[in-house]
Structure 1
Amino acid sequence: MTGTYRLGARRTRIVMSAVLAMTALGATATEAVAAPARSAPHRIGAPRDFDRQLVEDLAEFGDEEEVRLAAKAALESEDPNAIREFLDHGMAEARKRAQDKKKDTDAENRKKIEAMRGTGGPHFNAEVERVLGPKATANDRASFLSYGADLAREQDAKEEKDAKDHAATLRKRVEMLATVGGPEVKKAARAALDAGNDAAITEFLDKGYLVAARKDADNQAAREKELKEEQEKLDKELELARKTAAAAPVRTKLLDAHADALKALTYVTDDLAVSVHDAREAGRLIGNNRSEERLYAYDQARADVIRRMEGSAFFARATRIHATQVKIHADFLTENGLPQDTRWAEVADGLAAVADAAVKAYETARSAANATADAASLKAKNTPKAYEQQVAQWRAYVDRYTEAAAALTAAAQKQAKVLADASAGAQAKAGQGS
């Protein structure tokens, strides 16, 4: 650029000098410019100096090598017309040779570049097509061969290296997932590594990983659900074992309390039965014969009835106490929630009703016995009607408590059966549960 500028400036300076010189000699500016086309030798010194200066500039700053060499040859020639000949013909011929050489060089360059098609990476191949394209110049092709090809190869090499480094990074990531991932992720990662190509690695990271991770998540959720269900089942079994362990001694206590209640109830019914026998005897003793001896025996029989009922108080209360214990144990078993213990409430309620009946029978029988008249009272009244009323009272006692004793006996037998059925049912359900 600097050489061209200097050459242009120098040419302008030389042309202006020639014009001034020719004007001084009486020539026009046009003639001055056209003067180099004349073949006649110059007879004036100034134009020769101008021509020589012009040729010197071309020899030093000319664009084409052929022009520079031809100009230098003209300057070095001993022929006085060599400079003029160069300006008139030699320069044009040199330029033609330069153009022909450029065409030949560009043709050779084009052949070289065409041979490079498809031999490099993306950038290199793209540059080859560009400099061979219709918009490219000979300078573009020369520049490509000079340094452009190397730059394109370097760019391709750099991108290839970057791609390999990136692929290595991705491979390491997949290797890590093949080690620490879930089962499905490990399997998919190992398959990608075994494929042995970068495309498989990329495909795994872009799509396969998400699919495998989702499978692992689903499998994990299913496993957690399974573990939760197993834990819940285990918890239920442990709770059942705890309840069973807690219920066993309570069930034993319930059975014992129930047996004690029935035993006490048996004593109550026995006392009622004996008191009925004694009451019947008391009525008989004052029925017809009212001698002192019979009245004495009557007092003994009446005292036996009262004493028997007084003694039965303990067993009546014991029946109720044991029934209450059965109720407490039955409530615990019911609240404990074992299926084999659902009938104990029925057992407890039935036994409580029987215990209440026993207590009521004892209390009314005792009151009835105490309400009868003793021998002294009968003797004080000493009327047939008084004796008849007392006999009727004893008969009513016998009838009422004979029936009460039978009812209590039947109730006790029923409760024994209910207890047996409940026990058998509990054992059967316990066997099914285990």
Structure 2
Amino acid sequence: MNININFSLKNNENKIYLLFILLFISLPLPILYSNIIIYSVSFLLIINGIRNYKSIDFYHPGFLFIFYFLLLCLNLLQVQEIEKYGIRRIDTSLPFLIIPLVFVLNNFFLKISNNKIIEILRVFSAFISGFVVICSIASIYKFITSEYLISNLFYNNYVSILSDFSPVYFGMYVCFSFVVLFIYPFSNKLLNNFLLSILSIGIIQTFSRINLLFFLLFLILNIKSFKVWLIIFFSIFISLFFLFESNLWNERVESVKKSITKSHYILTTEQFDPQQNISGEELRILHLRVFLENINSVKTLLIGNGTGMNEHTLAEKSFKYKREMTPHKTKYPYHEFNFHNSYLEIIFELGLIGVFPFIFYFKKLLNQRCKLNIYFVSLILIISLTESILMRQKGVVFVVFISSFLFLLNENSNIRYKRCS
């Protein structure tokens, strides 16, 4: 049977448009469904690129992500238990290879107009707004049916209806969508301001401090805009009123204060009480200690300890310190076996060499002098301070796909810089 797969722009521009809409809306779906859509569509596009091969631009920034994936594969040579730790890490990192290949092999993407790309970004943002509404309705229902327990409106309870999504990662998607509609608004101002208000409420309800930090910085930088004042009035003050009226805010603040006072103890003690409770902030301090103890030579600083070795080392150290951090004792084992800091994770696995592909890629995005690129890179850099965004598949797909798409937007600018400002 001869199956003719042809996504040529000349005959199927609308198909390409719908295809990318499909890819975008798959990002926030549960991992199983998201992977089926992303890998299936990517596979078809890679085949199309190979069938219509003419020339490859080896200066394409997508090769930086491919290079990073190859570094992960090469660094398996340092891992003794490859099947247990290394292979799982490679599986999670497959988007670093597959998604860039789609953009590298298919030159017809460069012919898609900027207007269509921006339209796709808007549709994606509106789709995320819909998820925010669903989460808000579900959380309000919980709030009403649980004797008005206000914590059901925020954080994990807020996103519980979304499978495989932590509030921090969902907040990252919402923040990006907010920036898209702020920079590239719908022509209908009423609709656009309504969506911005919904997204801003979603950012508050996810109650992720790192996303709130980005959102606050964004509002400060755009304080002259009337839209920002409108959003502040209808979302932030209203949401913060509920937060301060509940114990949730006080609990989060007290948790940070307690972690600061206990940081010296966590960094110096040799043995912990196995039954001692430890907060998320304290766990991050413990992981910082493990990182510092294991980056103990020039070799490990340059090329790291091996792909997947962060998980192995944290498990080993948790046993040494008699911490109860085994997968069968916690609902989220991944929470204990990653550094919660993308910078530490990259250096621990690949050394400083592993950092360079991202430095060069983000530099290329920033060189376009596009506001959306600047805010996207800023969002990723801020989220990376507390999240293992490049080790969890939701984070990897978001970073690789969105950044590749943004670079496509700039490549298609006839008057670069001005079209993106």
Normalised-by-shorter TM-score class: under 0.3
Q: Which has the higher helix share?
A: 1
Looking at CA atoms only, which structure, 1 or 2, has the larger radius of gyration?
1
Question: What TM-score does the superposition give when structure 2 sets the normalisation length?
Answer: 0.18
Question: What TM-score does the superposition give when structure 1 sets the normalisation length?
Answer: 0.18
